[in-house]
């Protein structure tokens, strides 16, 4: 019978994998391409160690964003695609901001920003950011996982600015 994973085991494994990745990249030149490769490999490690069904989680983040798009559009001054201000929709255009948020809520735009251990609730909190909206840090998704990788709770939030 397999041993049940606890939070400490999960974070020890994440730390060990992260250290290996850092060692693999320690001699590489610091370029944007190497940074993207590092981030991509780190994302894959996170998903593997947490046993997270990443495609399912990203689709759920998209669906939650679409359900809240009108509310989010009312809360923000503008929506800018990939921080490109020539493609900005401003505060008076609620319908257009809603459409922009729905269009930009695609699975490929969600990236892991943070991972925290929540011992009180015995879960792992994974924070995603949608890189397509504004600077990539305004539209976020919070996913709470059991140590075995099962989603306990998930929701999206937009920070007003």
- Domain residue limits at 86: 7-158
Q: Is residue 1 part of a domain?
A: no
Residue 41 lies in a domain: yes
For residues 87-100, one letter each, b for 16 or more C-beta atoms within 10 angstroms of the residue's C-beta and e for the rest, the string is: ebbeeeeeeebbeb
Residue 2, domain member (yes or no): no
> Does 43 fall in a domain?
yes
90 assigned to some structural domain: yes
Q: What is the pLDDT along the chain (161 residues), one digit of tens a residue?
A: 557 888 999 999 999 998 998 888 887 777 778 778 888 888 889 889 998 888 899 999 999 999 999 999 999 888 888 888 777 767 567 888 888 899 999 999 999 989 999 989 999 999 999 999 988 889 999 999 999 889 999 999 998 75
* pLDDT tens digits, one per residue of 47-64: 899 988 888 999 999 999
- On whether residue 130 sits in a domain, the answer given is yes
- Give domain status of residue 108, yes or no: yes
Q: Domains in the chain: how many in total? A: 1
Query: Is 99 within a domain?
Result: yes
Task: Tell me the C-alpha to C-alpha distance, in Å, between residue 156 and each of 53, 88, 159.
Answer: 17, 21, 10
Q: Model-level pTM?
A: 0.83
Cα radius of gyration rounded to whole Å, the chain? 17
């Amino acid at each position: 019978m397999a041993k049940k994973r606890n939070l400490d085991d999960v974070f020890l494994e994440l730390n060990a994998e992260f250290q290996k990745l850092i060692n693999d990249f320690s001699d590489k030149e610091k370029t944007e391409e190497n940074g993207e490769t590092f981030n991509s490999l780190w994302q894959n490690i996170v998903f593997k160690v947490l046993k997270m069904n990443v495609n399912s989680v990203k689709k759920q983040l998209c669906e939650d964003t679409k359900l809240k798009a009108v509310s989010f559009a009312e809360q923000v001054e503008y929506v800018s695609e990939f921080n490109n201000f020539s493609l900005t929709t401003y505060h008076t255009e609620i319908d257009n901001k809603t459409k922009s948020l729905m269009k930009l809520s695609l699975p490929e735009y969600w990236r892991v920003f943070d991972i925290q251990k929540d011992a009180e609730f015995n879960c792992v909190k994974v924070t995603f950011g949608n890189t397509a909206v504004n600077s990539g840090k305004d539209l976020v998704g919070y996913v709470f996982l059991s140590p075995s990788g099962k989603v306990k709770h998930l929701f999206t939030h937009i920070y007003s600015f």
